[in-house]
Amino acid sequence: MSQVSFNLNPEAAPAEKASSPWRDAWKAFRRNKTAMLGLGIILFFIIIALLAPLIAPYDYKEQVLMDRLKAPSADHWFGTDDLGRDMFTRIIYGARISLWVGFFSVIGSIIIGTILGVLAGFYGKWIDMLISRLFDILLAFPSILLAIAIVAILGPSLQNALYAIAIVNVPTYGRLVRAKVLSLKSEEYITAARAIGMKNTRILLTHILPNSLTPIIVQGTLGIATAIIEAAALGFLGLGAQPPEPEWGKMLSDSRQFIQKAPWTVVFPGLSIMLTVLGFNLMGDGLRDVLDPRMKN
The C-alpha atoms of residue 119 and residue 123 are separated, in whole angstroms, by 6
Q: Is residue 137 part of a domain?
A: yes
Let me know if residue 191 belongs to a domain: yes
The torsion angle over the Cα atoms of residues 193, 197, 199 and 202, rounded to 10 degrees, is -40
Domain with 237 in it: 32-295
Per-residue pLDDT, 90: 93
Question: What is the distance of C-alpha 200 from the center of its chain?
Answer: 31
Residue 9 falls within a domain, yes or no? Answer: no
Q: Residue 57 sits in a domain of what CATH number?
A: 1.10.3720.10
The answer to whether position 261 is within a domain reads yes
What residues are paired with 86 via a beta bridge?
80
- Please check whether residue 25 lies inside any domain of the structure: no
Q: Is residue 161 part of a domain?
A: yes
pTM over 0.95: no
Secondary structure class of 101 (helix, strand, coil): helix
Each residue of 90-125: b (16+ CB within 10 Å) or e? bbbbbbbbbbebbbbbbebbbebbbebbbbbbbeee
Residue 214's contacts (CB-CB under 8 Å, 6 or more residues apart) are: 291, 292
- Which pLDDT tens digits describe the chain residue by residue (297 residues)? 445 444 545 454 444 455 666 677 778 778 888 989 999 999 999 999 999 999 989 988 888 888 888 999 888 899 998 888 999 999 999 999 999 999 999 999 999 999 999 888 888 788 889 999 999 999 998 888 999 999 989 988 889 999 999 999 999 999 999 988 888 877 777 778 778 877 878 888 888 888 788 888 888 888 998 999 999 889 888 888 888 888 898 888 888 888 888 899 999 999 999 999 999 999 988 888 777 655 555
Residue 209 pLDDT: 82
Number of compact structural domains in the chain: 1
> What count of Cα atoms within 13 Å lies in the side-chain half-sphere of residue 239?
24
**Does the residue 176 lie in any domain?**
yes
Spatial neighbors of 64 by CB under 8 A, at least 6 apart, are: 80, 84, 85
